[in-house]
A and B are shown apart, each in its own frame.
Chain A
């Protein structure tokens, strides 16, 4: 099973709302990733968790707050977002991290009004 699941599929939120995106995998992978993809652009790395610890933060604004409660679950907490944050948010995982295949979830389409 090479499945990464993400919920919700779609999310509409106002600039004052707080919401969370969820990502789950049951492949025993120890590295998990958040990417952001704007329309007609490639995905861009936001965060990397390795063995449940944040290992890479690509200078992402603090209104995005990642959390890795356990090795199977990755959350992205959203607060006070801007309309330009509207995008497809993709989660991925790999077995241990570097030099390995990354498997992507279906993404959450976020619209900030």
Chain B
């Protein structure tokens, strides 16, 4: 199956800082989603972004499908941004495969 690698595995930020999370994948994809999992386990959709760039408030994402990577940008981070960020991709098998996640901790 497709391999999905996320970096860094852990990220500690001071409130107000900016950061970039990366997702590399090993094959062509039909679907790429970024999720935020809060401490209670809820997976929240951030972006559906198989290609191109999208922005939603302080978050934006870019996927370069030809180079097989996606980036998630968090600007002016807040303590509520803490949690695990997952990249998930769907390849030829139509199954959503998740990366291992990036654990973000934002300190006040």
User: Which A residues are closer than 8 A to B by beta carbons?
Assistant: 2, 33, 37, 41-45, 48, 56, 58, 88, 90, 92, 97-104, 106-107, 109
Contacts and interface: CB of A to CB of B under 8 A. Distances in A.
Given A42-B98, A98-B31, A106 B42 contact: yes
Contacts, number: 56
A98 B94 contact: yes
B48 A101 contact: yes
A103 B90 CA distance: 14
Interface SS of chain B:
strand
Interface residues of B, number: 23
B97 to A, nearest CB: 8
A99 B44 CA distance: 18
A42 B99 contact: yes
A28 B43 CA distance: 20
A104 B42 contact: yes
B100 interface: yes
Nearest to A37: B41
A35 to B, nearest CB: 8
Given A98-B30, A102-B96, A104-B42, 13 more contacts: A37-B41, A42-B99, A45-B96, A45-B97, A48-B95, A56-B94, A58-B95, A98-B90, A99-B31, A99-B50, A101-B33, A102-B33, A104-B35
Given A97-B94, A98-B30, A101-B48, A90 B99 contact: no
Nearest to A99: B30
A107 B45 contact: no
Contacts of B35: 104
Nearest to B98: A42
